[in-house]
Structure 1
Amino acid sequence: MSSIAARLIPTWLRQYQLATLPTDVIAGLVVGVLVIPQSLGYAVLAGLPPVYGLYAAIVPVIVYAWLGSSNVQAVGPVAITAIMTASSLLPYADKGAEQYALMASLLAFMVGALLWVAGRLKLGWIMQFISRGVSAGFVSGAAVLIFVSQLKYLTAIPVAGSSLIGYLSSLQMYMRQLHPLTLLIGVIAFALLVANRYASKWVWRTWLSASSAKWAERLFPLILLGVAIILSMALHWSALGVATIGSIPQGLPSFTLPHLPDVQEALKLLPTAGLMALIVFVSSSSVASTYARLRGEHFDANRELTGLGLANLSGGLFQSFAVAGGFSRTAINVDSGAKTPMASLVTVVVMIAALIAFGNALAPLPYALLGATIMASIIGLIDIDTLKSAWQRDRLDAASFIAAFAGVLIFGLNTGLVIGLMVSFASLIWQSSKPHVAIVGQLGGTGHFRNINRHDVVTFDNLLLLRIDESLFFGNSESVHLRILKALQQYPEARELILIMSAVNHIDLTAQEMLSTLNKELAQQHKRLHFSFVKGPVMDVIGHTPLITELSGQVYLSTLDAVNSLTAR
């Protein structure tokens, strides 16, 4: 095989084993069939006609299967990108369905472009700066907004807004438009779906085996969809005022250039596209890296960026809205036996078949069922467990969760995420600004030195040993200085101060000046400053600065060397 062909054909396909084909085909068929109603619902959630949910599950899925980093991640329309699309394109809702769809494709194209550029610049490391509290708080807040937004399909009330207050206000304002039959259908469907999802132990396992109950639980939404279509046709629900999705256009998504607005409109969408790109990457990477770890595979964050970027770029050219890796569909994909991205390609075949052969069959499907499906599935994204865990173990991360969650509900998705990130970074800065500085002593006759408040150690009258457990920079240099001066006041007889730098990975200019000032202050008191365990990269930075050249004491390789040298005098 030529080098060019080797680069064009992914490794998984070049090394594909036919023995895995049956399980991949089964997994692809299962995922394809089960996510059809979900895909339709996410398109509606994005403010698009239902068929766009199927469009979004074709070209982007093919591209990610070819170029993505995960062998089992199932990419497609997801709740978060759907509601962010609807929120950002709210000003275009009254400009016609065609214009709105073109703007949704443009947004997907912009998201893809940002992800692709980030991948080329190898910015995968950004993921580690999004704390668990922020991501869980944002997703939980978005889940609440998604839940409330679907009330318009269960009640026929034109609920609209970008925040919880906006949704509830419009719900109260138009309460008289409530349609009783639509509400009845939606509530019954929602109750059945919730019971199937959260009470399957009693619903299915009392009279089915464990394996049969699992399949019954998975297939139930599809069965409910079929029953709803039959009842809608038999009872003429559309004639009674129940909104149905109508005939779905048959045929594959066509190549369509996204709508190109003027520069000002494009700039308005850019912040949303940036936040969506971040969320798409963080959520997809979380899923992909988790399964890579479980399967003993390597996860490449930069390749994930490139794969997601090209998937959304291509989707934006084929009538898709922004896509990401889905939590639930990936779990179904893996549980059904998927081994390679071939399963995703089989799922695409199912979506194509649905578009070509079953468009008219889905026409009587009530929007109330789609809304109930989204509401039932979205409950699981409200992550109370993470909040409880953070509150017990890390209050600062809990604060980030609450800030992101409350910000999303009060101000909307974009502002809420920014608020959560700001609180998270503020917490990080606050923690770094108050580093731990320990007074240490020698552990018995060993070369180990430990905190005097935690261990029975030996101290020295003429020596004060301080261990700094953080890199030194402008944000914490003053607090470290004050902590050192306080320790010197506690031990006025100490003439030699040894700063143990084993945990210090960097010393910026401000911190260097602080240590130089400390050196001069000690000299005025006829005391000396020494360093031990200075790392090589740190010494490369400070080795030729006044901090070292004018140091009153010495730099020792180890704390034991410093103690032996200074106590022998």
Structure 2
Amino acid sequence: MSSIAARLIPTWLRQYQLTALPTDLVAGLVVGVLVIPQSLGYAVLAGLPPVYGLYSAIVPVLVYAWLGSSNVQAVGPVAITAIMTASGLLPYAEQGTEQYALMASLLALMVGALLWIAGRLKLGWIMQFISRGVSAGFVSGAAVLIFVSQLKYLMAIPIAGSSLVGYLSTMQRYASQVHPLTLVIGIIAFVLLVANRYASQWVWRTWLSSSYAKWAERLFPLVLLGIAIVLSMLLHWNSLGVATIGRIPQGLPSFTLPHMTDLQEALKLLPTAGLMALIVFVSSSSVASTYARLRGESFDANHELTGLGLANLSGGLFQSFAVAGGFSRTAINADSGAKTPLASLVTVLVMIAALIAFSNALAPLPYALLGATIMASIIGLIDIATLKSAWQRDRLDGASFLAAFVGVLIFGLNTGLVIGLMVSFASLIWQSSKPHVAIVGQLGGTGHFRNINRHDVVTFDNLLMLRIDESLFFGNSESVHHRILNAMQQYPAAQEIILIMAAVNHIDLTAQEMLSTLNKELALQNKRLHFSFIKGPVMDIIGQTPLISELSGQVYLSTLDAVDALKDI
């Protein structure tokens, strides 16, 4: 095989084992069949005709299967990208379905371009700076907004908005216009779906074995969809005022260049596209990296950025809105036995078959069922467990969760995410500005030195040993200075001040000046400043500076060396 062909053909296909074919086929069929109603619902959530959910599960899925980083991640339309698309394109909602769909594809193109550029620049490390609290808070807030937004399909009233206040105010305005039959259909579907998802141990496992119960739980939404279509036809729900999705265009998505009237329109979407790209990357990488660990496979964040970027870029040219890795569909894909991305290619064939052969069969499907499906599936994204855990173990991360969650509900998705990120970074800065500085003593006759407040240690009257547990920079240098001075006031007899630098990985210019000032202050009191355990890279930075050349004391290789040399002075 030539080198060019080797680069064009993905590794998983070049090394494909035929033993994986049966399970890949089964997994692809299962995922394809089960996510049809979900895909239709996500398109509606994005403000698009239902067929766009199927369009979004074809070309992007093909591209990601070929170029993505994960063997089992199932990419496609998801709730977060759908609600962010609807929120970002709210000003265009009145311009007609065709124009709105073109703007949704333009947004997908922009998201894809940003992800691809980030991948080429190897910015995968950015994922580290999105704390668990922020991502969970944002997703939880978005889940609440999604849940409330779907009430318009259960109540058949025009609820709209970009925040919880907006949704509730329009709901109150149109509350008297609720369609009773639609509401009954929606409530029954919602209750059944919630019971199937969250009470399966009583619904199915009391009379089915564990394996059969699992499949019954998975297939129930599809069975409910079929029942709803049959009842809609037999009882003529459409003539009774129940909104149905109507005729779905038959055929595959076509190559379409998104319409852009002027550059200003694209620039207006850029903040939304940037935040969507961030969320797509964080959520998809979380899923992909989790399953890579479980399967003993490697995960490359930059490869993931490139795969997601090209998937969205290509999808934007074929009538897709922005896509990402789906939590639930990936779980189904993996649990069904998927070994390679071939399963995703089979899923695409199922979507193509639905568009070509079964599009008319979906016409009687009530919007109320799609709304109930989204509402039932989205409940699991409201992550109360993470909030409880964060509040018990790390209040700052809990605060980031609440900031993102409340910000999304009050101000909308984009502003809420920014608020959460700002609180998270503020927490990081606050923590860094207050480093831990411990007064230590010698542990017995060993070479170990520990905090005097935690261990029974030996101290020396003429020595004050301080361990600095953070790197030193402009944000914490003054705080460290004050802590050292306070420690000296507690031990006025100490003449030799030893700073243990084992945990210090960097000392910036401001911190160097602070230590030089401290050295001079100690010299005026006839005291000396010493360093121990300075790391090589740190010494490379400060070795030729006045801090070392004018140091009143010495630099010791270890704290034990410093104690042995100074304790008897």
Normalised by the shorter chain, which TM-score bucket? over 0.9
Between the aligned partners of 2:544 and 2:404, the Cα distance in structure 1 is: 45
5 Å-filtered alignment, 1:326-405, equals: 326-405=326-405
1:282 equivalent to 2:282? Answer yes
1:184 alignment partner in structure 2:
184
SS at match of 2:467: strand
1:223 alignment partner in structure 2:
223
SS at match of 2:552: coil
2:156 alignment partner in structure 1:
156
SS at match of 1:35: helix
1:306 alignment partner in structure 2:
306
1:459 alignment partner in structure 2:
459
SS at match of 2:291: helix
What whole-Å deviation, never above 9, does each CA across 1:283-322 have from its counterpart, x for those lacking one? 0000000000010000000000000000000000000000
1:201 alignment partner in structure 2:
201
Q: TM-score, normalised by structure 2?
A: 0.99
What whole-Å deviation, never above 9, does each CA across 1:245-299 have from its counterpart, x for those lacking one? 0111111111111112312211110011000000000000000000000100000
Between the aligned partners of 1:543 and 1:74, the Cα distance in structure 2 is: 53
Match of 1:209, as an amino acid?
S
Between the aligned partners of 1:161 and 1:299, the Cα distance in structure 2 is: 38
Match of 2:410, as an amino acid?
I
5 Å-filtered alignment, 1:48-447, equals: 48-447=48-447
What whole-Å deviation, never above 9, does each CA across 1:499-542 have from its counterpart, x for those lacking one? 00011111111111111110110011111111111111111111
What whole-Å deviation, never above 9, does each CA across 1:362-414 have from its counterpart, x for those lacking one? 00000000000000000000000000001110111100000000000000000
Q: Give the C-alpha shift of residue 568 in structure 1.
A: 4.6
Between the aligned partners of 2:532 and 2:124, the Cα distance in structure 1 is: 35
1:38 equivalent to 2:38? Answer yes
Match of 1:417, as an amino acid?
L
1:491 alignment partner in structure 2:
491
Q: Which deviates more, 524-533 or 139-148?
A: 524-533
1:511 equivalent to 2:517? Answer no
Between the aligned partners of 1:504 and 1:275, the Cα distance in structure 2 is: 34
Between the aligned partners of 2:261 and 2:480, the Cα distance in structure 1 is: 53
1:11 alignment partner in structure 2:
11
Match of 1:4, as an amino acid?
I
Match of 1:35, as an amino acid?
V
How many residue pairs get aligned? The number is: 569
Between the aligned partners of 1:288 and 1:427, the Cα distance in structure 2 is: 28
Match of 1:372, as an amino acid?
A
SS at match of 2:303: helix
Between the aligned partners of 1:98 and 1:557, the Cα distance in structure 2 is: 72
Between the aligned partners of 1:286 and 1:542, the Cα distance in structure 2 is: 40
SS at match of 1:38: helix
Query: Displaced runs of 4+ in structure 1, greater than 6 A?
Result: none
Identity %: 88
Match of 1:345, as an amino acid?
L
2:552 alignment partner in structure 1:
552
Aligned CA-pair RMSD: 0.7
1:450 equivalent to 2:447? Answer no
Between the aligned partners of 2:474 and 2:264, the Cα distance in structure 1 is: 38
Q: Give the C-alpha shift of residue 567 in structure 1.
A: 2.4
Between the aligned partners of 1:87 and 1:324, the Cα distance in structure 2 is: 17
Q: TM-score, normalised by structure 1?
A: 0.99
Match of 2:542, as an amino acid?
I
